[in-house]
Amino acid sequence: MRGIPRAVRAIIAVLMVVIALSVVISATSGDRAGLTLPEKILRSIFSPIGNFFWNIGRGASDFFGGLFRLGSIMDENRRLKEEVEALKSNVAQISGLEAENARLSGLLDLKKQFKGKTVAAKVVYRDFGNWLGTVVIDRGSADGIKPGMAVINSLGIVGRVVASTSGTASILLANDPRNAIGAVTVRSRDFAIAEGVGDGTGVLRLKPFGAAPDIKPGDLVVSSGLGGVYPAGHIIGEVVDVDEGAYGMAKVAYVHSAVDFSRVEEVLVLVDSQKGNLK
């Protein structure tokens, strides 16, 4: 290596790094049965820290959100100003607790509706990128969670488990372009595939199987149960737009999910996917 100029050595080093990373990306692009040791170690260290700071972030967000809403109420109710001032600090705290209570109650109601085992979990941190959607929850293989299990909340399908450690699991969100869900429209019973668009807005692309599907804006779309991951009958979303394509040959619809993927906090993992149908 001594005889090789420095610039050439730098280029060789760069190429080696790029090739090595490309190989690792390619090897980890599909579903994996388990995580590697460095991933498990890093997760076990970061999970409690992430959970702690996530709660701080959510608490601060709820606090300032509560104060913001309080401001507009004060403008409308000036005669109650004194009372509002006295309760201001309490309201900011309560608004956060109320929102959490409503979410947990919805999750509890949902849990009672299933035949099979379910595990309630909380999001501890998430993938920050613009294009993909992954969150990590605080339950893992110790609770029976394995890759391939469906994840829902009270508003509909959230995604599926793609990897798990004993105390955490990665959820690939339904709006991620790597995710596809077997779907059916409730009104016309047209079968389709709902896949993530990757636009970050919670819109999924619906590709129907039939030659002349009857899909209209406003149609409710639920999981068909045919894909093997998501049990039948869970809400995917509502059709918001239909693209007829050239000569009406390639109809594609766009479905808006009721789930706000950027704000998912509590979820339910369907451990018995075969029994995950609604009662």
Distance CA 84, CA 63 (A): 15
Please report, as residue ranges, which positions from 149 to 178 form the binding site for another protein (by CB under 8 A): 162-163, 170, 172, 177-178
Question: Which H helix or E strand runs over 160?
Answer: strand 156-164
Distance, CA of 241 to CA of 262 (rounded, Å): 22
Alpha-carbon distance of 19 to 24, in angstroms, equals: 9
Q: Does position 248 bind another protein by CB under 8 A? A: no
Query: Which residue in 131, 188, 217, 243 binds another protein (CB under 8 A)?
Result: 131
- Are β-strands 252-256 and 118-126 bridged in parallel, bridged antiparallel, or unpaired? unpaired
- Residue from 124, 137, 181, 268 touching another protein (CB under 8 A): that is 124
| Shorter beta-carbon distance to another protein: residue 1 or 27 | 27
Q: Which token pair is 142? A: 């110790």
> Among 79-87, 102-110, 195-203, 212-220, which window interacts with another protein (CB under 8 A)?
195-203
The amino acid present at 13, given as its one-letter code, is A
* Contact pick of 200, 209, 252, 256 for another protein (by CB under 8 A): 200
Nearest distance from C-beta of residue 188 to another protein, angstroms = 26
Cβ–Cβ under 8 Å, residues 256 and 202:
yes
Tell me which amino acid residue 88 is: K
Judge whether 240 and 248 are in contact, CB under 8 Å.
no
Read off the tokens for 43: 């997760």
Choose between 115 and 263: whose C-beta lies nearer to another protein.
263
CA nearest neighbour of 168 among 136, 127, 125? 136
Q: Which residues ranging from 22 to 51 are in contact with another protein (CB under 8 A)? A: 22, 24-25, 27-29, 32, 35, 38-39, 42-43, 46, 49-51
Binding residues for another protein (CB under 8 A): 14, 17-18, 20-22, 24-25, 27-29, 32, 35, 38-39, 42-43, 46, 49-58, 60-61, 124-132, 134, 136, 162-163, 170, 172, 177-178, 197-200, 260-263
